[in-house]
Amino acid sequence: MQPLIITAALTGAEVTREQQPALPISPLEIAIAAAECARAGASIVHLHARKADGSPTQDRETYRQIIEAVRERCDVIVQVSTGGAVGMTPAERLAPVTLAPEMATLSMGTVNFGDDVFMNHPADMESFLRAMQEHGVKPEFEIFDTGMISTVNRWLKKGLLQGPLHVDFVLGIPGGMAGTPQALLYMVAQLPPDASWTVAGIGGAQLTLGTLAILLGGHVRVGFEDNVYYRKGELAASNAQLVSRIARISRELNRPLATPCEARALLGLRPL
């Protein structure tokens, strides 16, 4: 089995300080959290930017500051969000890709998202892909439901993409596919054999599906974007605490952790 790539999804667009007092918001806070997670075993950080008042933004300059501050502290792989927040325009969402980060997420379809609708028109998704290809950014395909993996497979068939591809199964969003082992197993079975995958279980599914992914040879995403609790009724102290736990479980199961350098090689990224 490959060494385990842990992604730390540090901030997200929806979680508030009221829900999680340790949520990193400013570029400096996000960079400090990234470095703590890297020390705890993460090899990718998934980044969202916030304004000073805590509201989500896709502002290019804010992402630039975050990436610069992360780079001053550690060599973790930087992955920006192009999901942003519900209701943002495609142009807004694409802004951080023009910084040519190593990776960016690409959501592969429209999904109900709690009480909202997370819109991803096929034409916009293709334009996101082209922008990533132009800027040399590796996409991580965000899969919230079954039709979305069919779309990635269709793109492969049409030659829009060159493999090997890397996907993230985001399971347990209210409106998307359930955060259950059955759902994860079904999704993994739809992938081409050379693809790599990670799982972002929402809420309590972060721990259960992360542990299952370690056993199945997948990779794991943890962090406040997807889950603010350490266990039921107990908030996590930091993003790094969640990374440390999954790192510990992986070592117990005899699966070593990928360093950022090893993760770059596994994902076909250039060395830093």
Q: Which residues bind ligand KMH (CB under 6 A)?
A: 12-14, 81-83, 85-86, 105, 107, 113, 118, 142
DSSP E strand stretches across 17-176? 44-47, 49-50, 56-57, 77-80, 103-107, 111-113, 116-118, 138-143, 166-171
CB of 243 to Zn ion, least distance (A): 16
Which among 78-86, 143-151, 156-164, 244-252 is the span making contact with Zn ion, rule CB under 5 A?
A: 78-86
**Binding partner of residue 57 among Zn ion, ligand KMH, none, CB under 5 to 8 Å per kind?**
none
**Binding partner of residue 126 among Zn ion, ligand KMH, none, CB under 5 to 8 Å per kind?**
none
The span from the CA of 75 to the CA of 59, in Å, is 23
> Structure tokens of 214?
């370690």
Considering beta carbons, is residue 188 or 224 the nearer one to ligand KMH?
224
Q: Which residues pair with 198 in a beta bridge?
A: 168, 219
Indicate the residue type of 7.
T
Does residue 62 bind Zn ion (CB under 5 A)?
Answer: no
Cα separation of the two ends of the chain: 24
Does residue 81 bind Zn ion (CB under 5 A)?
Answer: yes
Indicate the residue type of 182.
Q
Considering beta carbons, is residue 43 or 81 the nearer one to Zn ion?
81
CB of 83 to ligand KMH, least distance (A): 2
Please identify which residue in the block is written with the tokens 């804010």: 62
**Binding partner of residue 244 among Zn ion, ligand KMH, none, CB under 5 to 8 Å per kind?**
none
Considering beta carbons, is residue 81 or 206 the nearer one to Zn ion?
81
Considering beta carbons, is residue 161 or 265 the nearer one to ligand KMH?
161
CB of 255 to ligand KMH, least distance (A): 26
Cβ neighbors of 243 (< 8 A, separation 6 or more) are: 6, 8, 37, 40, 41, 42, 222, 223
Considering beta carbons, is residue 104 or 246 the nearer one to Zn ion?
104
3-state SS assignment for residue 149: helix
CB of 41 to ligand KMH, least distance (A): 21
Cβ neighbors of 155 (< 8 A, separation 6 or more) are: 129, 161
The span from the CA of 61 to the CA of 81, in Å, is 14
Considering beta carbons, is residue 36 or 142 the nearer one to ligand KMH?
142
3-state SS assignment for residue 71: helix
Does residue 206 bind Zn ion (CB under 5 A)?
Answer: no
Considering beta carbons, is residue 89 or 231 the nearer one to ligand KMH?
89
3-state SS assignment for residue 216: helix
CB of 254 to ligand KMH, least distance (A): 31
Which among 81-89, 210-218, 226-234, 255-263 is the span making contact with Zn ion, rule CB under 5 A?
A: 81-89
Category of 121 on φ-ψ map: left (φ > 0), alpha (ψ -120 to 50) or beta: beta
**Binding partner of residue 113 among Zn ion, ligand KMH, none, CB under 5 to 8 Å per kind?**
ligand KMH
Contact residues for Zn ion (CB under 5 A)? 81
